[in-house]
Amino acid sequence: MDLLVTLLVIVAKVIGLTFLIVLPLVPISVYFERRFSAIIQDRVGPNRVGVPLTLLGAKKDFSFFGLIQPMADGVKLFLKEDFTPVHVRKAFYWLAPALTVVPSLVTVCVVPFGGDITVNGQIHKLVIADLDVGPLFIFAISSLAVYGITLAGWSSNSKFPFIGGVRSTAQMISYEISLGLSVVPALLYYGDLNLSNIVEQQSQNGWLLLPLWGNSAPWNNGGDYTAWLFWIPAMIAFVIFTTSVFAETNRMPFDLPECETELVGGYHTEYSSMKFAMFFMGEYAAMVIGSAMVVTLFLGGWSLGPWFDNWAKGVEIGPIGIGGLINMAVFMGKVVAFILFFILVRWTVPRFRYDQLMRLGWVIFFEAALINVFLAALVIAAPQFGAAITVGGLIVLAIVTGALVWALKVSEKKTVPVSI
Amino acid sequence: MAVVKVTRPKLSAGEKIYLGAVVKGFFITMKHAIDSLRGKSRGAKDLESSGLGVTMQYPEQKWDEHLPEHYRGAPALVTDEQGRERCVSCQLCEFICPPKAIKITPSEIPSDDPWAKVEKRPLEFDIDMIRCIYCGMCEEVCPEQAIFLRKDYAITGLKRADMVHDKEKLYEIGGVRVGLVNKWNELK
């Protein structure tokens, strides 16, 4: 009986968080993308599709700011002809879209969406699987999405998709490293790999990028400035991590696998209707998960300061403590804000050239993330060691950094003007 | 041949880091977003914006009164002050029409007509608006100033047959045009 209840809770969590939260967020973020892009470009965007009340005899349509548009998009994609070109490798061609969607949806399971919900004195965490290796699990699974893209490019048996697939592979490899390395400082700081605990810690001690309350503020812990000093490596890690997430999700400055100016449509050129929509969905789901990751690790997850969190913990309706749901609303707000940031970047930064992207990934971010790990370790360890060792460490770090920069400069190819 | 050696511009350290430019771009983008939310986008006033960005919301608001003088919309036939058809079915426009959109069936004017002494008039005058490219050559070539490109642009139909303007429709669009034959003068 107990097992049954546990299973039911798990199923409810899976359905609730995946199918009621993340999947609906995909069309909604598409809508946001279209509306926000339009506003940036001095346009209006989709604001028409609504309930056609005039068909029923009413005076005016109910356009609802065009919020029905995502639904119309979905219906359109379902009803379109599902066209399979004859020259493709059928099995892989059909498999590829699923391979891009599934990893993004699997990674949902370790993201803590909110605090606890108490039912009959029993505490349920708002996370599907409370793994102790959260970030590692996300990296491991989300890197699989590239298989779908590569497979799509290869099985399309056509040149542009193939180039798109190959590009995607190379891009993914060059960014996974800095993605992984850039969170190491954060994980050093927390000393924990469980995302729920990380958020709990941030809720009590100040967010990683906002160390203003709890133990991280110097006036609460006897003048220890570690957390404030740690802000520097944390910020570097945040920049590298966010950029890598952009590359990971194939978003705008790094959308080289599908840039339409060079590759027609990239890896999904040969795909139509729902199969295309699956790629689209995978990409946006990855964007949602990426935002959730950034928010969880750096921006406090579902917390909104200890005062708010403690108040939310006490909110109850009858026997059910719904504090977790309030936290979830905060989390969703943060995620949506970050998605808006994603869109803003799309219209701010021009697309990278391919060699620039490779250089950024392999040469700059990789080294920067590596140095950042040392810097973070130094900042964390400084109070235990004396001033002498800390200064020595700083000098070593400066020498290593200088050496790296020098090596970078020397290895740069000198361009010799060619006379014709 | 002289060889021009083009070298890449030397970037300063600030430019190499690239983040400054990104931040600058970010502010430009945000400025556009905020301006368009406030309905203060550049050019919003001239373009009769609906309040968001510079876009005019088409079916409700129309561009009609802003169309420039020289706007070339649908070609149409005009009558003169006396309500007389100006077209004499010389078929020059039919010949000149690059996409062959115009089809004229010439005919005589019956003798009991008050304008019987005037040359001729077309029996049928069809312009296929699917083919028309709005080049205005019919207007240019017409010796009688009978065909003009007017300001109609919303030409729609549910069938191909709907898109063929017959003589009646053409006169309806064209209306009366007052003035002498002034082909080579400025339009009145």
Domain ranges of chain B: 14-63, 75-184
CB A82 within 8 A of CB A71: no
Helical (H) or strand (E) element with B128: strand B121-128
Q: Report whether B93 belongs to an annotated binding site.
A: yes
- C-alpha distance from A420 to closest chain B C-alpha (Å): 7
Identify the closest residue of chain B to A349 by CA–CA distance: B22
CATH architecture of B75-184: 2-Layer Sandwich (3.30)
Instruction: Read off the pLDDT of residues B72-94 as tens digits, 9 standing for 90 and up.
Output: 888 888 887 777 888 888 899 99
At A121, the pLDDT band (50, 70, 90 cuts) reads: confident
Per-residue pLDDT at A420: 55
% of chain A at pLDDT higher than 90: 1
Averaged pLDDT, A226-238: 85
Averaged pLDDT, A147-163: 87
Cα distances (Å, whole numbers) of residue A364 to A128, A139, B145: 36, 21, 71
A44 reaches B (C-beta below 8 A): yes
Mutate to test the interface with A, among B6, B10, B32 (most CBs of A within 10 A): B32
Residue B29 to residue A417, Cβ atoms within 8 A? no
The Cβ of residue B123 has, within 10 Å, a number of other Cβ atoms equal to 12
Does some domain include residue A242?
yes
Averaged pLDDT, A24-53: 84
Per-residue pLDDT at A419: 57
- Residue type at A76 in one-letter notation: K
Per-residue pLDDT at A1: 72
Which residues of A, range 7-36, sit inside 8 Å of B by Cβ?
A: 36
Say whether pLDDT at B185 is over 60: no
Instruction: Read off the pLDDT of residues B7-16 as tens digits, 9 standing for 90 and up.
Output: 888 888 888 7
In terms of residue numbers, what domain contains A229? 2-44+68-406
Per-residue pLDDT at B133: 92
Say whether pLDDT at A217 is over 80: no
What are the backbone dihedrals phi and psi of residue B24, each rounded to the nearest 5 degrees, phi first?
-60, -45
ipTM given for this complex: 0.71
**Beta-bridge partner residues of A162:** none
Per-residue pLDDT at A24: 85
At A61, the pLDDT band (50, 70, 90 cuts) reads: confident
Per-residue pLDDT at B131: 92
Write the residue in B6, B28, B50 that is nearest to A44 by C-beta: B50
Q: Cα(A335)–Cα(A288) distance, rounded to whole angstroms?
A: 7
Residues of B in Cβ contact (< 8 Å) with A356 = none
Q: Cα(A86)–Cα(A382) distance, rounded to whole angstroms?
A: 64
What single string gives the DSSP state of each residue in B99-115?
T--EEEEEEPPPTTSTT
The domain total for chain A is 1
Averaged pLDDT, A191-208: 84
Does some domain include residue A187?
yes
Say whether pLDDT at B187 is over 60: no
Say whether pLDDT at B182 is over 70: no
Averaged pLDDT, B97-110: 90
Averaged pLDDT, A261-268: 76
Average pLDDT value over all residues in chain B: 83
Residue A348 to residue B6, Cβ atoms within 8 A? no
Identify the closest residue of chain B to A38 by CA–CA distance: B53
Write the residue in A349, A415, A420 that is nearest to B25 by C-beta: A349
Average pLDDT value over all residues in chain A: 83
Say whether pLDDT at A407 is over 80: yes
Per-residue pLDDT at B100: 92
Say whether pLDDT at B98 is over 90: yes
Identify the closest residue of chain B to A420 by CA–CA distance: B3
What single string gives the DSSP state of each residue in A305-330?
-HHHHHHHHH-EETTEE-HHHHHHHH
- C-alpha distance from A115 to closest chain B C-alpha (Å): 34
Averaged pLDDT, A325-337: 87
Instruction: Read off the pLDDT of residues A347-361 as tens digits, 9 standing for 90 and up.
Output: 888 888 888 888 888
At B95, the pLDDT band (50, 70, 90 cuts) reads: very high
Q: Which of A259, A239, A286, A287 is nearest to A351 (CA)?
A: A259
Q: Which tops the pLDDT comparison, B147 or B48?
A: B147
At B97, the pLDDT band (50, 70, 90 cuts) reads: very high
- C-alpha distance from B5 to closest chain A C-alpha (Å): 6
Residue A349 to residue B7, Cβ atoms within 8 A? no
Q: Report whether B2 belongs to an annotated binding site.
A: no
Per-residue pLDDT at A8: 87
Mutate to test the interface with A, among B16, B22, B40, B46 (most CBs of A within 10 A): B22
Residue A44 to residue B35, Cβ atoms within 8 A? no
Per-residue pLDDT at A416: 64
Q: Which tops the pLDDT comparison, B107 or B18?
A: B107
Strands (DSSP E) along A339-391, which ranges? none
- C-alpha distance from B75 to closest chain A C-alpha (Å): 32
